[in-house]
Amino acid sequence: MTLFAVDNPFIRVASPTSLILFLVKVCLFYPWLFWGCYRHISRRTIPIGFYVVLGAAFIFWPPSLFINDLVTASLAIVAVYYLANPFGDHLATIVSHFGYSMLVYYFSSVVCLLLSRIILVKYPQFSSLPHTFLIPLIYGFALLVIKIVRPLADRFFSRVNNRHPVAEWCLSVLFIPLSLFFFFVQHFLTANNLGGNTAALLITLAYFILALLVMNHVGSDLHYRDQATFASHNLDSLTNYTDKLEVMYDDLRRFRHDYQNILISLSSALSDNHIAYAKQAIQELTQSSSRIVDMPTSVFEALQNITDLGVKSIVYQKLSDAIKDGLHPRLEVVRPLELTTTLQPLDAIRITAILLDNAINAAQVSKQKKVSLSLFENENAQFIIVGNSTKEAQVDLNKLAELEHSISIGNNHHLGLRNLKIILGHYPNAVNDRSSNQHWLEQKIVLPKK
């Protein structure tokens, strides 16, 4: 046997009955197993046409050969990425899901094949049953494995997907050694070799456990690194926030000192009936007051109601950038709010940052140069509403929807919209609503409470 083959069963198969059984196996059972594992792992819907095309391909493209399976998996990844990717998942994310799916696929295949051989050595009277029902048994066993290991796999994907593409690509190849081992077991290990099959079964179990341990270790390590980066970011933002408060306090302290001195001068001038000097004192008082009143710092008053330190820091940073860019930001948070009630901490920061970045970029080229952020909640949901003035009287919302699926890496706005869609894809009940009218664009994120 070779690692690669192209077959024509209509010539090779001896009888019509054998041909029918073969077609049922490759056109029904194998696509069911292949796509079923991926569907349950990724929690994504697979179009029925994918099953049909794969079943037709398997007639002439035998599965369970190393190179054949690699080509099949590669083409399947491309098909899912371009044709069945409604949430705009990154390519690395789809690859990692397929890698883990293939790991479970081969693990289940090897275990069921070896167990069937071991059973048949002791009970040869059942020799026809495993051959007929092996693929459904493999699929059932694979679903059991997916269910048992799901907490570990979900924890790994939540820590790696859309955050560490290098880790996604590297760990997606864990199935390759098991694929080669499956090929060896199929074609070079005899079915009646009880000792060899038992040893192969133990090796398979050990490798699968090792692969899970590697995934868990890498996921935990990257998670702790992200937490450290997150803490460092919060510390830097809190430091900047504190520095800004100190500057504001110094300004107010100097204003109070100047205000007292000017009032004393004004009182003295009026007592001596020096009208010209009194006018000068009033003018100085007005100028000093204007510097304080006109400072665009009142926008930060609502920050006290944002209880998440990370979200508070990123909102402060983005609104400060907006003020520096000559924009007129507005922040509305009427009551204390904790976004991590409905979102993971990093996701809350990323969503807020993307929305504000896009709003600031659009407002810079508009005439009104306004940006607003409102955060509030009710008994059922939390709401993030970001608005900005626009150059156009009415923005084409369909065009924005198309940009969410753009894979261009040359436009940060495109990437921001796409990343936002990917993040919200992890929250199936979240709603992303947009509206545009009279030079104003508003985006509302509704996050149902659990």
Total length of the chain:
450
Average confidence score pLDDT of the chain:
84
Q: Diameter of the chain by CA atoms?
A: 124
pLDDT for the residue 320 = 86
Tell me which residue has tokens 């809350």.
348
pLDDT band at 22 (very low <50, low <70, confident <90, very high): confident
C-alpha closest to that of 324 among 333, 332, 334, 316: 316
pLDDT band at 289 (very low <50, low <70, confident <90, very high): low
Tell me which residue has tokens 């006018």.
279
Question: What is d(CA 289, CA 291) in angstroms, rounded to the nearest whole number?
Answer: 5
Q: Lowest-confidence range among 48-57, 237-246, 368-377, 415-424?
A: 237-246
301 pLDDT exceeds 50? Answer: yes
Backbone angles phi, psi at 16, to 5 degrees: -60, -35
Beta carbons within 10 angstroms of residue 155's beta carbon: 15
Q: Lowest-confidence range among 175-184, 232-241, 287-296?
A: 287-296
pLDDT for the residue 407 = 45
pLDDT for the residue 409 = 39
Are residues 250 and 370 in contact, defined by beta-carbon separation less than 8 angstroms? no
Question: What is d(CA 366, CA 439) in angstroms, rounded to the nearest whole number?
Answer: 8
Q: Where in the chain is the domain with CATH 3.30.565.10?
A: 297-450
65 pLDDT exceeds 50? Answer: yes
Give me the mean pLDDT over the 319-347 stretch.
87
Highest mean pLDDT among 26-30, 156-160, 203-207: 203-207
SS3 428: coil
For residues 211-244, b (16+ Cβ closer than 10 Å) or e, as one string?
bbeebeebbeebbeebeeeeeebbeebeeebeee
Give the DSSP per-residue string, 342-390: TS-HHHHHHHHHHHHHHHHHHHHTSSS-EEEEEEEE-SSEEEEEEEEE-
pLDDT for the residue 2 = 66
Q: Mind listing the pLDDT tens digit for each residue in 105-149?
A: 999 999 999 998 888 887 776 665 556 678 899 999 999 999 999
Q: Mind listing the pLDDT tens digit for each residue in 84-110?
A: 988 778 888 899 999 999 999 999 999
User: Helix 412-425 crosses helix 345-364 at what angle (to 10 degrees)?
Assistant: 150
Question: What is d(CA 106, CA 69) in angstroms, rounded to the nearest whole number?
Answer: 11
**Sheet (strand 440-448) strand order:** 328-332, 370-377, 381-389, 440-448, 431-436
Residue 8 token pair: 């024509």
Are residues 385 and 443 in contact, defined by beta-carbon separation less than 8 angstroms? yes
SS3 335: coil
pLDDT band at 216 (very low <50, low <70, confident <90, very high): very high
- Considering only the top CATH level, what class is 297-450? alpha beta
Q: Lowest-confidence range among 94-103, 183-192, 270-279, 300-309?
A: 270-279
More confident residue, 18 or 315: 315
Question: What is d(CA 161, CA 90) in angstroms, rounded to the nearest whole number?
Answer: 8
Q: What angle do CA 58, 99, 188 make, to 5 degrees?
A: 60
> In Å, what is the CA distance from 24 to each residue of 30, 126, 158?
9, 21, 37
Taking the whole predicted model, whether its pTM rises above 0.75 is answered as no
pLDDT for the residue 57 = 93
pLDDT for the residue 411 = 47
Question: What is d(CA 263, CA 136) in angstroms, rounded to the nearest whole number?
Answer: 91
Q: Give the H/E segment covering residue 117.
A: helix 91-122
CA 197 to chain centre: 41
Question: What is d(CA 129, CA 147) in angstroms, rounded to the nearest whole number?
Answer: 26
288 pLDDT exceeds 70? Answer: no
Are residues 333 and 302 in contact, defined by beta-carbon separation less than 8 angstroms? yes
Q: Mind listing the pLDDT tens digit for each residue in 394-405?
A: 888 887 776 655
Question: Looking at 216-320, which runs of residues are DSSP E strands?
Answer: none
More confident residue, 445 or 425: 445
SS3 437: coil
pLDDT for the residue 23 = 86
pLDDT for the residue 281 = 65
Give me the mean pLDDT over the 331-342 stretch.
87
pLDDT for the residue 447 = 92
| β-pair type (381-389, 431-436) | unpaired
More confident residue, 69 or 14: 69
Are residues 4 and 68 in contact, defined by beta-carbon separation less than 8 angstroms? yes
pLDDT band at 293 (very low <50, low <70, confident <90, very high): low
C-alpha closest to that of 142 among 187, 183, 175: 175
SS3 72: helix
Question: What is d(CA 293, CA 236) in angstroms, rounded to the nearest whole number?
Answer: 28
Give me the mean pLDDT over the 349-364 stretch.
91
Q: Mind listing the pLDDT tens digit for each residue in 408-417?
A: 434 445 557 7
pLDDT for the residue 287 = 65
